[in-house]
Chains A and B, each alone.
Chain A
């Protein structure tokens, strides 16, 4: 072994971490917010005051579809979670023989399946959730390949990082501040080691969640399991017949599933004698999915296909995906997930900074660093601060854009990327240290503004939410304020910091090997 095992692992860790580090940072940051995607959506639709209720929503959604789209061939209802969220409907009209997009329609209803009060158009927490594996402005399949590749790099970086870390137990509790590079290394190590079970789990299960796309061949080899009801989009030839009452079906299905509630309802040929209602079990009741869908006769309410028994392979896979998404987690565990996710975000951020800090001392001419160094330095500022600032702008746009503006939901998203790009450009044109201070200041201001603007533009500001004990809104505003406070602290530390003169060292013979 020429350079030594640990050294080659250090090299691997440095470069696998750097190459897609910014993307990983974005994936971790938005993925962490996704643990609260229903709550974020609730905050971004302040018109919907009532607590979400999946069963009520199911009945109301069916009534809405029967009133507005009685002739559709299929209906599809995504129910809200019991902890909040919206009801999302889609349907296919009979007019078209193929499933072209033109024949499909979709609609959002509130957490009780009602269309009044109309929630403001927004992509809500769902956008941040979607971004963490499908990005934006990129075809979603391409995005999944990119994210999967970066997850693979992450796995490589984690494993090689464990090997590289010399004193994983001796330095377990060590976090030394004010020591330049050493401090950044400590911060990187501590956030990596303390939440290591989470980092390994989330990266591995993230790959598992998308593996059917990366490795489709096993799926092609075997017959399709009867987990999904076969759906045709041909119009029904059967005579018309009213739909059976939905609530008894929901109750019966839940009993069959051992208490698990339905999360999705698919209708085929609603309003006809050959109607089929397929109920899908929610993943919010246990880590693994133990049950399959149940199909009912839509006219008589008789059970046609009982839930198929699930194979152990499927249970293992769904347990991994369940562990990743954390839909089963009660509030306390949800917060633990969130904090571990933040730890991962900080780990990637400090890792990216470390690359710069390590090399700055060895720059031949600190005033004019080489091109690659400048790229990494500017991308660091633009992403580590730019993305969080963009998300704050996304929340602000939700409150400030007129509720009936055209393309409102898209404009919220655009505000995110405009802010992110603006900070990126700003960080390129300014000297590095000023860029850090200014970008962090802007970011802190944006976060501090979110609860203020929310209080001014809605009736559900922090104080009124406290009075009405609306904990989702209270927590959201408090998280914004805490973020702003931490960013302010960072600005003050940074502004008063003067880097020590780099100690003069002999240039090392092999810079690459020590990287």
Chain B
């Protein structure tokens, strides 16, 4: 359960960071967001990653939790990369 929370927060965090970049906004949303939206996306992305760390540390102990957190960060980032690589297929499916 805790693992799921850490994973989902990391996943959402990296998704936020991905969409905070104007280049990736063009690819996913077909338009660029306002600079303020970018900043808040980036901030919330980092905030989610930090909160995942706090959740991991408080529930599993800071030593063990830190290792678990880094492990899930890697997995979450890898999934965001895979989704990003297949974005054309995903976007086409959503649009239909």
Chain A residues with CB under 8 Å of chain B are: 170, 172-177, 190, 194-195, 197-198, 287-288, 319, 323, 328-329, 332-333, 336-337, 339-340, 343
Contacts and interface: CB of A to CB of B under 8 A. Distances in A.
A512 to B, nearest CB: 32
Size category of the B interface is 20 to 34
10 contacts: A173-B24, A174-B81, A175-B81, A177-B85, A287-B63, A287-B64, A333-B64, A336-B68, A336-B71, A343-B78
B81 A190 contact: yes
Interface in B1-58: 3, 14, 17-18, 21, 23-24
What is the predominant secondary structure among interface residues of chain B facing chain A? helix
Contact of B70 (A176, A198, A287, A319): A198
B43 to A, nearest CB: 15
A59 to B, nearest CB: 31
B90 interface: no
B59 interface: no
Contact of A333 (B17, B68, B77): B68
Given A198-B70, A332-B3, A336-B68, A175 B75 contact: no
A337 B67 CA distance: 9
Contacts of A288: 63
A332 B68 contact: yes
Given A172-B17, A198-B71, A336-B74, 17 more contacts: A170-B21, A170-B23, A173-B14, A173-B81, A173-B84, A174-B84, A175-B81, A176-B85, A190-B78, A197-B74, A198-B74, A287-B63, A319-B63, A332-B3, A333-B71, A336-B71, A336-B75
Contact of B84 (A175, A195, A328, A332): A175
Contacts of A175: 81-82, 84-85
B72 to A, nearest CB: 7
Nearest to B23: A170
Nearest to A177: B85
Given A328-B64, A332-B68, A339 B74 contact: yes
A329 to B, nearest CB: 8
A156 B17 CA distance: 30
Given A173-B80, A173-B81, A175-B85, A197 B70 contact: yes
Contact of B71 (A174, A177, A337): A337
Most buried by B among A194, A287, A288, A328: A194
Contacts of B81: 173-175, 190, 194
Contacts of B75: 336, 339
Contacts of A198: 70-71, 74
Nearest to A175: B85
B6 to A, nearest CB: 10
A492 B77 CA distance: 27
Question: 5 tightest A-B contacts by CB?
Answer: A336-B71, A175-B85, A194-B77, A197-B70, A195-B74
B74 A194 contact: yes
Contacts of B80: 173
A323 B74 contact: no
Given A175-B81, A194-B81, A333 B67 contact: yes
A173 B74 contact: no
Contact of B67 (A174, A195, A323): A323
Contact of A340 (B17, B24, B71, B85): B71
A319 B70 CA distance: 17
Contacts of B21: 170
A406 B18 CA distance: 59
A19 to B, nearest CB: 27
Q: Which of B3, B67, B70, B75 is the most central at the interface, judged by chain A CB atoms within 10 Å of its CB?
A: B67
Contacts of A336: 68, 71-72, 74-75
Contacts of A174: 81, 84
Contacts of B71: 198, 333, 336-337, 339-340
B85 A343 contact: no
Nearest to A329: B67
Which residue, of B21, B23, B71, B73, has the highest number of chain A Cβ atoms within 10 A?
Answer: B71
Among A329, A336, A343, the most chain B Cβ lie within 10 Å of the Cβ of A336
A345 to B, nearest CB: 14
Contacts of A337: 71
Contacts of A339: 71, 74-75
A198 B75 CA distance: 12
B46 to A, nearest CB: 12
A442 B64 CA distance: 40
Contacts of B23: 170
B74 A340 contact: yes
Contacts of B64: 287, 328, 333
B15 to A, nearest CB: 10
Contacts of A170: 21, 23
